[in-house]
Structure 1
Amino acid sequence: MITGDEPVSSENDILGRRSIACQWAAAIGQTTAPNGLVFAVTGPWGSGKTSMLNMMEEELTAKEIKVLKFNPWLFSGTDQLVNFFFGEMASQLEYGNPKQKKIAGSLKKYGALFSPIKVVPIIGTALGAAAETAAAAGKFMEESQIRGVQEQKNALADALRDLGQPMIIILDDLDRLTGQEIRDVLRMVRLTGAFPNLVYILSFDRQRVELALNEDGLPGRAYLEKIVQVMFNVPNIAPIELHAILFAELDQVIQDVQYSRFSTDVWPDVFIEIIAPLLSTVRDVRRYVGPLRTVLSILDDRIELVDVLALEAVRTFLPDAFSLLSSAAPGLTTPTYGSHDDPKYTEQVRAFVDSDEQNQGILRAICTRLFPASKLRLGINESYGTESAATWLRERRVAHSDVLSFYLQMSMPSGMRSAVAAELLFAHIEDEDFLSQALSDLEPSQVESIVAALESHQEEFSGVDPTAAIVVLLNQLPRLRRQARSFFDIGPDLVVSRVVYRLLLPTGGPDQVLALVRSILPRVHQYSSKLILLKLVGHEENAGHKLVEEAEWRSLEEEIREEVRSSAATDLAHEWDLLRLMWWAGANDDPRIWIIPETFLDEPEFASRLLTTSVSQARRQTMGSRAVDISDRIAWGILKEVVGGEENIRRCRNAAVTAMGDETSLIQLVDKYLEGWRPKEF
């Protein structure tokens, strides 16, 4: 549960201030005040003044000293202040002993004399303007003549003197009133402060009250010192004590929400440079920790805790700077590449740091500790590229744009969702059943993005058996869409290839890789996917990474080629990249030693798949235009080579019509090529 900013009593005294409060209470309780006395408990907002008053009240009450409380926030104007004060004090005394009841009566009568007026003649200071109406003034004069202000004052003084011990009146939070209200309350204290045995304890931030009392060239401090005889200053809390309170409350919150993502290496610098300078009181700690439980529950262990704690400190104490995080995000998170940096990113970072001149050091630390990409833009000669960004995403640091977006919006962007899913996959990287089921339950587009995010875990691939992951990833390829989706789309086969290659790298030498590949190939369902693996480990120019010896690779390739050539058309008809596979199966010699048997071309499913996999998309964009023209193209030359000429293409086309009809766009495109049409060069 969120804890409020409530003052404490003795039983909750985590700062050990009870002994000080008791000494202050003892000094007040032993006071002889024949002409009244005014004490004050002073300290900045949040320093614990009200808590000290609570503990002082406990001590005074234990010694059977009457303590009354007056809340000046409740009066609505100067004209009500005095009357309301006396009425409130009287009501708190009405159920006391006979002496206290007598005082209550005197207070009511004395206060009633001031109810219709706004001028207090006793102290010669106006609490407001003149009387509102002549009738009010007339009533005042009439009451004054009958009873007399001085007569009632004497009666109240006698009743208080007869009490035999001080009666304490506490006025808290004067510093939260307006300037005029502060002046009115202190004038009222001065008005009533000369009564015997009447002791005030005021509570306020001295700087704030002195500023409110500055008027007409008179210093507020001198005026305050004339009213208040004794001032007690709330002790400053030692940083080590404040930090202990903070850590205890943070531990409780983190334990409650079961947040475990915590970098011990990053925490010390972030705490010392960012969080600690923003905390000076227990109230600051409560304001800071209060929302954390809800924030961490929403984030659900998906962002590095140290980053969250730092940004929550900025949100709580530097709200103007926090509001700039969204606009500064590109400059804070975009990887840097030496001198080739966009000036607008530097402007964004500078605007963020300069948004709070008093706390520039803290905001600069936010940049250097949480957003390393911004260092170069702050004049620090350090660059961070895409590899660093992949690490930030894996570690869920807000240095990555997707992670920062998740924190700011509390809604997970697609890149972040993929990273979370990839983290779950990596946790089960050796469990083939789990990986297969998890990916099969997703849409193909989701699978591709999650596999791409899995690459960010490459530093952790060593020490795991990659067999299950490679088998599952290669078997997912038939599900993934083949057509390109943008100019920069690298395609699902390349996405899978990159991850498979990084899984293979830690395996060892050529012999170990060869053994692993031989164990994987029989478990891969399609030859098109097996071909991906063969190319990765082989020596093909611009494709292979030479992870096995060339002779072994060529021998392995020939084994798979023979398997393809020996397969039935119905088995090959389901290959996701059939044309490429057929070309590869006979491309090791020139002229080709193997051409697809003509009987294959008469199989409708095989023919349909072959033609379908021969189509790709060409994208053209005219200079000066944002429009992109997308059109289908057939790899006509390769198709002719694979089937043995255009007549066999026609034969293949006729078989495909049986499966899909002659009205499809594919058949119509094939017919255009057969009639001699060819697209313009790109």
Structure 2
Amino acid sequence: MDNIDKFNFSADRPIHNIDEDLLGRAKFSENLAEAISNWNGKDSLVVALYGDWGTGKSSVKNMALTYIKDKSSKPIVIEFSPWEWAAQEKITKAFFNEISKSIGKESSSEKNKRLADSFKKYGNYLAASEVILTSTSNSLPFIVSAIAGIGFFSAFLNDTKIITLITTGFVAISPFLKWGVENLKRLAGYFDEKAKDSEKSLTEIRSELKVELQELENPILIVMDDLDRLSTSELKMIFQLIKANTEFPNVTFLLLFQRNIVEQKLTDKTQSGKDYLEKIIQVPFNIPKVSQIQVHKVLFDRLNKILELDKNSNIQFDQDRWSQLYHAGLKNYFNNLRNVYRYTSTLSFHFTLLKGRTVFEANLVDLIAVECLRVFEPEVYNELSISKDAFTTFKSLGSNRENNNKDFKLIIENVILKTSENNRENLRKILTELFPTIQWIIGNNYYEYESYSNWFSEGRICHNKNFDNYFQLSLSQNEITKSDLVDFISLTVDESLLKRKMLELDSNGKLKEFLSQFDSYENQVTEDAAIPYISALMDVGDYVSDDGTSFFDILGAQALIYRLVYNFLLRIDVKEKRGDILLECFNKLNVFFIIAKLLLSEQEKRNENKETLLCDSQYILIKQMFVSKLKALAFSNKEILLENNSLLKLLYRWKEWGEVKDITAWIDSISTNFQDLLKFLSQSIQYSTSFDGKISQKHYYIKASNINDFFDVDRIEQIINNADKSKLSTEEINTIKLFNEGVAKFRNGNEDHW
């Protein structure tokens, strides 16, 4: 069973069972087990299994041990991990203690008990010698001279009570301080062990061991993995330990490491690491080379499991783009299972963070590629994350191409330089596939704006609104998600729900940003939804305004709604059908802004002899309906019209397309009510924006000439002067102030300077 949880995480541990083998190495493991099991020489056998990092040495070893343990006549297997004892001077003692414990666990027979005790004694002797040699290597000349100076040198070699004498007699001697109290304690341990072993010599214990090992029915297999993790000094200690004990019968060593690393660590001025190993290793094996096809089959299986975590991801997955990126260079990062497990574990985690309610919140193919860079090319990933403009700036054919081209090219090249030299061409291909937006910089290829819009709706990293999601790998609560946009499409069949949703977005200050993003999704709204969709847009168009736009904004909420209506109608091939949709929607609604803007656009196109959206007959009919409905509303419910954010624009269209006497009569009715007049003036407030290089500021004003197109400003001024202003609100007082300022500019002839 794979070491994977429901999120497809992997602990990157080697396999232990043969049925877990995914790369066909079971047969090699069986042959390795046979080679080890059949050894019956008089001396020890040292077998090495060479393999690079991540190629599965430990997995092959585990399968081989499984084969060995299933044999009727099987060796005593002892797995010793020297790197767990690295930097500890008790490594020799630990080594023989592990052997002793394993033999004791294997059988409680008297023979095994004697052998276990012999190994322990042997280890104690060697460990004590190791302590003396390592602890005194730098200070021995001082110690020997200090002891010899007072006649104790012979005692140092023979008397077990020497430690007491040294500790009490030589601590004050300055050269001896270089050795230290801690090493004295270790040396005391040596003599304690020697005393416990009844003063048997090393030769005697070694002889006992050889006899006991020769009588063993089952040989001993000592396995040491990850030797390449050790430092040079630790490696030499281990190999010296192995070399010193190769005369023992019935003992086989199985050593696992990356050969070039160990050879490099063992090479010095006195020897070649390669020669050193050849003197110790008797039977070398190389881990079987695994084909990339086998490794990639595991990769694909794990990627499929990740996709299963979100049912929507399969729908969005672009097989062609995945194939292009895979062959562009992604495949080169997966040359062993460890890389596959390491990569898919982190991918599965980030995949779960980007699961949306309705759709996956990123482009899955792009996420797979970007995550590959994050895991295997961290410097590239980090540099890319701060190079958004260079990689996402879009330029279409015919647009201004000269600015930033050279700067962006340098930034892109700097990202590519963050990888190794032999991988730069692969990385360049990957980045070009991920970012078609850079092709105008590094080549001479350009795309239509429609492509850029599609890249946004597809969640592609190359769009500047999607880019950051691939580096923060989570979505903020206030962020507009792809699920929000897709859910909005489902609402287009229900006029009431769609209107409610847009008004909710407007009240939260999100409508403009939402509509600007939905612009890339509007082509997914079907013709079947035409009436509820257009009706809701037209209705909301009269409730919102463009006052929220900033200095650099081109489109506000109203303009974006108009754009959605226009683009939807443009997708319908037949002009008469477009007109039918507008007539049906307008007939049931008292809404005017979107219709007025469409009619004005149609009028300008006719004046310029350009292609129109509507046929002439329907254009005339809709214009007549507009005037008729606006007039009816104005006289039946003037309060609703006075609250319309586009009042002044609508009055201009009424005046142009309708009867002058009708609008004059309505204006006269407004002037008789001071509150109605103030509402009219407040709807005439405009603003301009200035920018000082740091912040933008809005400047509100009333252009008196606009008022004068409908009212005599002198008459309004007189009405205001005669009115009781004591109970007016702050907003109403400010409206009067703006009107007076506007009249003054109007009379001075500098009305256009705000």
Offset of 1:193 from its aligned partner? 1.8
Deviations 1:136-159 (A, max 9, x none): 865569779942221111110111
Q: 2:214 aligns with which of 148, 151, 161?
A: 161
Q: Report deviation, 1:502.
A: 0.3
Cα separation, 1, equivalents of 2:724 and 2:283: 102
Indicate conservation of the 8 Å contact 1:578/1:609, yes or no: no
2:317 aligned partner: 262
What residue number does 1:222 align with? 275
Letter in 1 for 2:452: A
Corresponding residue to 1:331 among 390, 400, 417: 390
**Cross-structure match for 1:584:** 653
**TM-score w.r.t. length of structure 1:** 0.91
1:520 counterpart residue number: 585
> In structure 2, the residue corresponding to 1:670 is in which secondary structure?
helix
| 1:617 aligned partner | 687
Paired position in structure 2 for 1:96: 106
Instruction: From 20, 32, 39, give the equivalent of 2:40.
Output: 32
Q: Indicate how the Cα distance of structure 1 residues 572 and 530 shifts in structure 2: closer, same or farther if over 3 A, else same.
A: same
2:27 maps to which of 13, 19, 23: 19
Give the alignment of 1:116-195 within 5 angstroms: 116-118=128-130, 129=137, 146-195=199-248
Paired position in structure 1 for 2:372? 313
The sequence identity of aligned pairs, in percent, is: 22
Q: Deviations over 1:349-371 (max 9, x none)?
A: 11101111232123212311111
**CA, structure 1 residues 90+486, in 2 after alignment: closer, same or farther (shift >3 Å)?**
same
Task: Give the residue type in structure 2 aligned to 1:394.
Answer: S
Structure 2 runs not aligned, ≥5 long: 145-154, 161-189
Mapped partners of 2:681, 2:611: distance in 1: 31
Q: Which amino acid aligns with 1:199?
A: T
CA–CA distance in structure 1, aligned partners of residues 157 and 457 of structure 2: 79
The structure whose RCO (Cα within 8 Å, separation 6+) is larger is 2
Contact 1:46 1:283 in 2 (8 A): yes
Q: List per-residue Cα deviations over 1:112-155 (Å, max 9, x = no partner).
A: 2122223899xxxx899378777986556977994222111111
Cα pair 2:456 2:463 within 8 Å, conserved: yes
Corresponding position: 1:417 with 2:470:
no
CA RMSD of aligned residues (A): 3.1
The Cα offsets for residues 224-262 of structure 1, whole Å up to 9 and x where unpaired, read as: 111111112111111111111111111112212443431
Structural mapping, 1:273-672, within 5 Å: 273-300=328-355, 301-336=360-395, 337=399, 339-342=401-404, 343-356=406-419, 357-378=421-442, 380-384=443-447, 386-412=449-475, 417=480, 420-444=483-507, 445-461=509-525, 463-483=527-547, 485-489=549-553, 490-539=555-604, 546-567=612-633, 568=635, 569-588=638-657, 594-595=663-664, 596-603=666-673, 606-621=676-691, 626=694, 628=696, 630-648=698-716, 650-651=718-719, 660-661=728-729, 664-672=733-741
Looking at structure 1, the residues matched to 482 and 85 of structure 2 have their Cα atoms a distance apart, in angstroms, of 58
- Aligned in 2, Cα 1:606/1:264: closer, same or farther, shift over 3 Å? farther
**Aligned pairs for 1:42-121 within 5 A:** 42-63=50-71, 64-77=74-87, 79-97=89-107, 98=109, 99-118=111-130
Moved more, 28-37 or 533-542: 533-542
Q: Provide the rounded CA distance (Å) in 2 between the counterparts of 1:600 and 1:504.
A: 37
Flag the 1:658–1:441 CA change in 2: closer, same or farther, 3 A. farther
Decide whether aligned partners of structure 1 residues 486 and 130 sit closer, same or farther in structure 2, where only a CA change above 3 A counts.
closer
CA contact (8 A) 2:86 2:230 kept: no
Residues 341/680 of structure 1: CA separation in 2 closer, same or farther (3 Å cut): closer
| Aligned partner of residue 232 in structure 1, secondary structure | strand
Give, in angstroms, the shift of residue 672 of structure 1. Answer: 3.4
Deviates more, 1:218-227 or 1:455-464: 455-464
1:608, 1:655 within 8 Å by CA — same for their partners in 2?
A: no
Q: Which residue of 1 aligns with 2:172?
A: none
Q: Which amino acid aligns with 1:42?
A: Y
Shift of 1:654: 7.3
Quick check: 148-157 or 15-24, which moved more? 15-24
C-alpha contact (below 8 Å) 1:528/1:575 kept by paired residues: no
Q: How many residues align?
A: 675
In 1, the alpha carbon distance for the partners of 2:679 and 2:573 equals 38
**Structure 1 285/419 Cα, relative in aligned 2: closer, same or farther at 3 Å?**
closer
What is the alpha-carbon distance in structure 1 between the residues aligned to residue 688 and residue 717 of structure 2?
A: 22
Residue 621 to residue 315, structure 1, CA distance change in 2 (3 Å): closer
The farther-off stretch of 544-553 and 401-410 is 544-553
Q: CA deviation at 1:629?
A: 5.0
* 1:40 and 1:201 in contact (8 A); partners too: yes
| TM-score under structure 2 length normalisation | 0.83
1-side partners of 2:136 and 2:96: how far apart? 18
- Cα distance, 1:471–1:659 mapped onto 2, change above 3 Å: farther
Shift of residue 551, structure 1, vs aligned partner: 4.6
Q: Distance in 1 between matches of 2:500 and 2:662?
A: 41
**Higher alpha-carbon deviation: 303-312 or 480-489:** 480-489
Matched, 1:203 2:256: yes
Deviates more, 1:437-446 or 1:165-174: 437-446
User: How far off is 1:412 after superposition?
Assistant: 3.9
1:402 aligned counterpart, secondary structure? coil
Note if contact 1:320-1:355 (Cα within 8 Å) is conserved in structure 2: yes
Q: For the residues of structure 1 that align with 2:602 and 2:240, how far apart are their CA atoms?
A: 90
* Structure 1 residue 505: Cα displacement: 0.7
Secondary structure at 1:616's aligned position in 2? Answer: strand
Q: Is the 8 A contact 2:492 2:525 kept in 1?
A: no
Output one character per residue of 1:251-286: Cα deviation in whole Å (capped at 9) or x when no partner: 112212443431112010112223210011111111
